[in-house]
Amino acid sequence: MALQEPEVIESEISQVLSIAREMARNNGCEILTIRIELHLYSITDSEILEESIQDVPRPIPTSKEVIQKLEKVSFQTCPDSIRECTICYEKFHQNGHLYQIVRLPCGHFYHKDCILNWLEISHMCPLFRYQLPCYEN
């Protein structure tokens, strides 16, 4: 955020105080303690954004070869306790429609389309963080 003139800061503080006083009156408070800290920085928004983006780990997609070799399973193969995709939370079998199901090497089951979309972005199981082989940039 660009540095603001003292008059602008004063005006904003005045607005905060006015809102706080109104809230205190509405809640029957007689004493209102407010602490305002003002920190001035000389860096720009773009510098802050650049810095924060560098700290965020980038997801790595799963290799296409691994995606093609994922195990496709039938609805009957899924354990009774696992009858829905944990990505979209829809059932594997719904309204007479049987969705394609995939099991990852870690043993988790997903709708084929849901997990393929996920693996194009990340090489880790959404639940277990099991790491599949990936492309490194």
**Which pLDDT value is given to residue 66?**
87
Q: Give the percent of the chain with pLDDT over 90.
A: 7
Of residues 136, 134, 116, 135, the one with CA closest to residue 126: 116
Q: Give the span between the Cα atoms of 132 and 57, in whole angstroms.
A: 17
Q: Give the span between the Cα atoms of 95 and 89, in whole angstroms.
A: 15
Q: Is the pLDDT of residue 1 over 50?
A: no
Q: Is the pLDDT of residue 91 over 80?
A: yes
Residues 27-33 have a mean pLDDT of 69
pTM score above 0.75: no
Alpha helices in 60-130 (DSSP H): 64-68, 112-119
**Which pLDDT value is given to residue 83?**
82
Domains of the chain and CATH, by start: 6-55 (no CATH), 64-119 (3.30.40.10)
Which amino acid does the sequence have at 42? S
Which amino acid does the sequence have at 73? V
Each residue of 100-125: pLDDT tens digit? 899 998 888 999 999 999 998 888 88
3-class secondary structure, 88: coil
**Which pLDDT value is given to residue 48?**
64
**Which pLDDT value is given to residue 137?**
42
- Longest Cα separation, the chain: 70
